[in-house]
Chains A and B, each alone.
Chain A
Amino acid sequence: MRRMLIGLALVALAAVPSCAAAQGAAAQGPPRPGGTLRLAIEDEPECLDPHQSPTEAARLLDRPLVDPLVHQDDKGVLRPWLATHWTVSADRLTYTFTLRPDVRFSDGTPFDAAAVVANLDHVVAPATKSLLAASLISAYRASTVLDAHTVRVQLSEPDSTFLAALATTSLGMESPRTLRQDPATLCANIVGTGPFVSHDGLQPQQGISYVRNPGYAWAPEGAGHAGPAYLDGVDVQFVPDDAARYGALTSGQVDAIMSVSPTEERELGASPGFLLRTKAFPGINYSYWPNTASGPFADPSVRKAFQVGVDWPQIVRNVYFGTRQVARGVLSPTTPGFDRSVAKNYVVDPALAGRLLDRAGWTGRDSAGYRTKDGVRLRLRHLWSDPSIEDLAVQVQASARQLGIETVEQNVDGGTFVKSLLAGDYDLLDTSFSAAGPNVLQVMFDAANIPTEERGIANNVSRYDQSDIQADLVGALAARDQDEQHRIYGAVQQRISADVAVFPVYSDMATVGARDGVGGIAFDNEATPDFYRIWLAS
């Protein structure tokens, strides 16, 4: 989840000039080594340790510091990284990894089988209080050193997503010597095998500085080049205000920024001397979620009416000026296992919506023009994730009104949000959920993940509980290989789409704006920019 519960909506200063003159040669020709990239980013992680922190910001800042065992490429294919190969037992409960023999952590500790055991044990240890990584490998039981460069991992149940989980930055390998420190120390700095090193670690509310790891020689295949990184270093500054970040770029105070706002994205795309790179986050699209357990949306035809009756594509174009892809499916297109065949369900047809609502019994009209049933108005209470969604919410509200549906917009504080969420006291809620693989469907649709008072926070916010989906979610984890797993997740996507358990809106994008002297801007499979490939032409 990338949005803060409560953000400060600051009005952007319209007068920020985009008149920055050409600031040096555009990045053409072969990459050249040298230079320090100055980067301004919006969010700051509360903790740097990828084993502890669940945030997008932590992934971004950890990516240069740690390497995972497995590399997942853009197509979702799993390839060697710190592990050169692996075998899986017939019962799919035992994985045996062979490790690269030549890898060292930046503190000099050799990377070996004992290091892998220490890392996996650290992730799942209750004292680590992992907010994401541990849940990605929830099937992990134990691991054993077979020899210096061979490690055996045992699972408590088959988990076809285990290798993909090991390929995330959250499961990056840290020096075992540092893992013996208390979790607080790891929040400030971590030591990995990555292409960069940070000597001073995270400076709260300021930033973090990296220098190149000169001994780096284990980039995965497809990383663009081998050997050490091009950049001498990277200086990251936390700049929470959109207008300040954008102005810092256009006035040459930084080389690149992330999280470019839609208005500025459009402006930057048209400015000579600058470039824009984007990639949709894999995972769950930014969506509106119906409460399928109670209220008007417990009726699937009302959900279907809302889905085809609201003009989602036009609303996304109005609010984001074409800088966000309209979503046609629960998963973003960059998610491995994304089933594009569900797109056909996403049509705009207000007439059909009207017929569906009539058939569902919402035939009356009250004095304000809203539909009623047994004298009760068709009213949906929408719990906001974030005040910044106002423009979108207003347009959805207007579109729903055309259908005779009233949406009551509830922009509440974090505590009230959590309370209403646990009580199921809402009809609509909006959120996205970035994740590297299609198993995020389990996070969002497994009945065991419905948030309740007893269970606490969980992510099945549509409170969706269908036994056949449950069976498929279990089946996907037991799949023999990735193909079978993707086939099952494809069926889940189709079922969710047909059942209208979610109203997809748009794909959340990772955005990088930079002066055109910055070359090699690329994203990894989690849509995290990869500093390893970046170089400066000037």
Chain B
Amino acid sequence: MTGIVKPVVLRLAASVVVLWGAATATFFLLQATPGRTVDVLLARTQAGPEVRAQIVADYRLDDSLPTQYLTYLERLVTGDFGSSYVLRRPVVDAIGGQLPYSLQLIAATLVLTVIASALLAVVSANRRRWVQSSFDAIESLVVAVPPFWLGLVLMGVFSFTLRWLPAIGATSPLGLVLPAVALAAAPIAVLTRVLREGVLHALTEPFALTARSRGLSEVALRTRHVLRHAALPATALLGWIAGSLIGGAVIIEIVFARPGVGRLMLSAVQNKDMPVVTGVVLLAAAVFVVVTILVDLASRVIDPRVRG
């Protein structure tokens, strides 16, 4: 048990540094973008000087940069993420309202990616040259297709023409299908390739010969033994994919009119809405930290050698 606790504690300590770095980088990067915050906030409005003064005073935008930074850090440490300048509501509410939808989409995308790529890898791990090259070609094509375009095509076919699935805004499980497929396509292609390499390699190992000689069927050999060997690099890759989806699903969220953290982040950056940007960045950083820890733990389960 202690074998697991120590690396987790170390990870958590390191993650505090990661979060501080993310918060600091966000603060200074946003400060470095052109235009004063109050001007960007008031672009395309008809606000008078009184309102301008009120906004500067409320958000303390006229404080010096070091003062603003220290106040900012102090508030973050005490768990006060502040209120959105634009949405005029607490950041925790603004993100909390969108997070469940993002998590649903990420979970669906990951499950789809794992199942599909495992199946495809087992099936496509074939010595015959034409089988491999056709899978290679299809995988390259899928990776090259932009997700929003794939999303629109899927929508046109399965929603507008066949009318099997809802196209927009559906927060039901059925509405999750098309966005998840659009998002999962490229990860499936990448992961299948990684898994297949592993499977092909493992099939040449002595243990595969032993298993075959024991009379184990080819299917059983591949699913029970070989896949496990191939899973180690794939797990690390999967962790990275999961982390990038938290804010990276924005285009798919827009195309399918799905609520989500990505859309929140996009408009917050455009509007220099510092509290929301900070909140989302810290959330994404936290997700990366958690996912990395989970990947580490998963690796230990998959491959006993890692534990040593």
Report chain B residues within 8 Å CB of A414: 35, 40, 43, 270-272
Render A413-457 as a binary contact track against B, CB cut-off 8 A, 1 for contact: 111111100100000000000000000000100000000000111
Verify B50–A415 contact, CB threshold 8 A. no
Report chain A residues within 8 Å CB of B48: 134-135, 138
Select one of B39, B51, B152, B167 contacting A251, CB under 8 A.
Answer: B167
With both chains docked as a complex, state the minimum distance between the C-beta of B41 and any C-beta of chain A, in angstroms: 9
Instruction: Select from chain A the residue with minimum beta-carbon distance to B37.
Output: A415
In the A-B complex, list the 9 residue pairs whose CB atoms are closest, starting with the nearest.
A415-B35, A1-B44, A205-B259, A415-B34, A418-B35, A131-B45, A239-B257, A13-B152, A247-B160
Verify B257–A244 contact, CB threshold 8 A. yes
Verify A10–B254 contact, CB threshold 8 A. yes
In Å, the complex CA distance between A127 and B160 comes to 47
7 A/B residue pairs, CB under 8 Å, sorted by A: A5-B43, A16-B160, A131-B51, A240-B263, A241-B254, A247-B160, A251-B159
Which of B69-77, B81-89, B235-243 sits within the interface?
A: B81-89
Render A6-19 as a binary contact track against B, CB cut-off 8 A, 1 for contact: 10101101011100
In Å, the complex CA distance between A533 and B217 comes to 71
Q: Given A13-B152, A16-B156, A184-B89, are A248 and B46 neighbors across the interface (CB < 8 Å)? A: no
Which of A46-54, A99-107, A481-489, A490-498 sits within the interface?
A: A46-54
> Which residues of B pack against A, CB within 8 Å?
33-36, 38-40, 42-55, 58, 83, 86-90, 94, 97-98, 101, 148-149, 152-153, 155-156, 159-161, 163, 166-169, 171, 251, 253-260, 263-264, 266-267, 270-272
In Å, the complex CA distance between A113 and B125 comes to 80
Select one of B33, B34, B97, B161 contacting A204, CB under 8 A.
Answer: B97
Report chain B residues within 8 Å CB of A244: 152, 155, 167-168, 255-257
Instruction: Select from chain A the residue with minimum beta-carbon distance to B163.
Output: A251
Verify B51–A184 contact, CB threshold 8 A. no
In Å, the complex CA distance between A135 and B86 comes to 19
Verify A239–B168 contact, CB threshold 8 A. yes
Report chain A residues within 8 Å CB of B272: 414-415
In Å, the complex CA distance between A106 and B94 comes to 27
Report chain B residues within 8 Å CB of A416: 34-35
> Which residues of A pack against B, CB within 8 Å?
1, 4-6, 8, 10-11, 13, 15-17, 40, 46-47, 52, 54, 126-127, 129-132, 134-136, 138, 183-184, 187-188, 203-207, 237-241, 243-245, 247-248, 250-254, 413-419, 422, 443, 455-457, 459
With both chains docked as a complex, state the minimum distance between the C-beta of A458 and any C-beta of chain B, in angstroms: 9
Verify A247–B34 contact, CB threshold 8 A. no
Verify A247–B35 contact, CB threshold 8 A. no
Verify A184–B167 contact, CB threshold 8 A. no
Report chain B residues within 8 Å CB of A131: 42, 45-47, 51
Verify A456–B88 contact, CB threshold 8 A. no
Verify A205–B88 contact, CB threshold 8 A. no
Report chain A residues within 8 Å CB of B263: 205, 240
With both chains docked as a complex, state the minimum distance between the C-beta of A478 and any C-beta of chain B, in angstroms: 20
Report chain A residues within 8 Å CB of B155: 13, 243-244, 247
Q: Which of A131, A132, A415, A459 has the most CB of B within 10 A?
A: A415
